[in-house]
Amino acid sequence: MGFSDARFDVNLSILFTELPLLERPAAAAAAGFTAVELWWPWTDAPVPAQRQLDALRNALRDAGTHLVGLNFYAGQLPGPDRGALSVPGEESERFRANVEVAADFAQSLDCTALNALYGNRVQGVDPAAQDALALENLTLAARAAHRVGATLLIEALNAPESPDCPIVSAPKAIEVVDAVNAATGLDNARFLMDLYHLARNGEDLEAVIDRYTPLTGHVQIADNPGRGAPGTGTLPLEDLLDRLHTNGYTGWTGLEYQPGNTPSADAFAWLPRPQRATTAP
């Protein structure tokens, strides 16, 4: 796979954020990309106004960009309070209110991957109760994803940046994937393999790839340290993508890195322009 064969998409919630949301798809297209992904764009609105949904849909279509991945509502991203589905009370209620809205929006744009982020541990609440709530909400999300022909993604974050999140290793994420698939019988939950988060956790990335590629529904990359573009840190990202390809991965690879002190449009020098326009796997 490497850089020459991978299908890259740009995460418009971490790149091009110097621009208003509705201008980002066109900016990504101007940089040569045809595929994008997004965290849930309205951090305070799990159910935004229809005009907001329509405006974003039109911006993506007008730019000629294909939305290939979308997060369910997950609270404030980026930030330490990321994730909602396992948080009792208002946050999990907001997640549930968002599930069908996000699934319908994804379906309207032929987006087939929906990411559901676990929430932080809450002081004074039994972790087992949080995990039971999470499984209930993930089951709801998996059924909504199945209804629109999408995969439900389960992502491991990293402990240094998200110390209160319980999903901070590949094996733990796979445990959740297996639990959701067992609960629904739909077999549409998959691992979101974010190589940056796994590297921050100190995991053996080659071993993770060799073991979990068959259960992987999406890949995201950023270099480490620094969460910058490939080549700004020490991760052998091209070799790791080659290893994913050898193990059978043919899906999307999301560029989820920070552009640093330069405009986002200048943060892709590592990737020749002809390799930025990609077609569906």
Establish if 187 belongs to a structural domain. Answer: yes
pLDDT at 1 over 60: no
Q: Which of 18, 63, 36, 57 is nearest to 262 (CA)?
A: 18
The span from the CA of 85 to the CA of 134, in Å, is 6
Tens of pLDDT, residue by residue over 116-166, are 999 999 999 999 999 999 999 999 999 999 999 999 999 999 999 999 999
pLDDT at position 281: 57
Provide the annotated active-site residues.
155, 256
Question: Distance between alpha carbon 143 and the CA centroid of its chain, in Å?
Answer: 18
pLDDT at 75 over 90: no
Establish if 271 belongs to a structural domain. Answer: no
pLDDT at position 79: 67
pLDDT at 249 over 70: yes
Establish if 28 belongs to a structural domain. Answer: yes
| Segments forming the whole domain that contains residue 79 | 2-265
Structure token pair of residue 61: 């279509």
pLDDT at 263 over 80: yes
* CATH code, domain with 31: 3.20.20.150
Q: Are 138 and 156 in contact (CB under 8 A)?
A: no
Establish if 276 belongs to a structural domain. Answer: no
Regarding beta strands 113-115 and 7-11, do their DSSP bridges make them parallel or antiparallel, or are they unpaired? Answer: unpaired
Q: Which of 88, 104, 117, 89 is nearest to 47 (CA)?
A: 104
Q: Are 27 and 264 in contact (CB under 8 A)?
A: yes
The span from the CA of 202 to the CA of 86, in Å, is 25
The span from the CA of 69 to the CA of 88, in Å, is 26
The span from the CA of 25 to the CA of 19, in Å, is 10
Give the chain's domain count: 1
Q: What single string gives the DSSP state of each residue in 232-259?
A: SSS--HHHHHHHHHHTT--SEEEE----
Tens of pLDDT, residue by residue over 203-225, are 999 999 999 999 999 999 999 99
H or E element that contains 114: strand 113-115
Per-residue pLDDT band for 280 (boundaries 50, 70, 90) equals: low
Per-residue pLDDT band for 82 (boundaries 50, 70, 90) equals: confident
The span from the CA of 190 to the CA of 214, in Å, is 9
pLDDT at 278 over 90: no
Question: Distance between alpha carbon 144 and the CA centroid of its chain, in Å?
Answer: 17
Instruction: Verify cis geometry, omega within 30 degrees of 0, for the bond prior to 78.
Output: yes
User: Stretch 75-97: mean pLDDT, rounded?
Assistant: 87
Contacts of 225 (CB under 8 A, 6+ apart): 233, 234
The span from the CA of 130 to the CA of 135, in Å, is 9
Establish if 121 belongs to a structural domain. Answer: yes
The span from the CA of 121 to the CA of 192, in Å, is 21
Quickly list H helices, 189-236.
195-200, 205-212
pLDDT at position 76: 78
Establish if 272 belongs to a structural domain. Answer: no
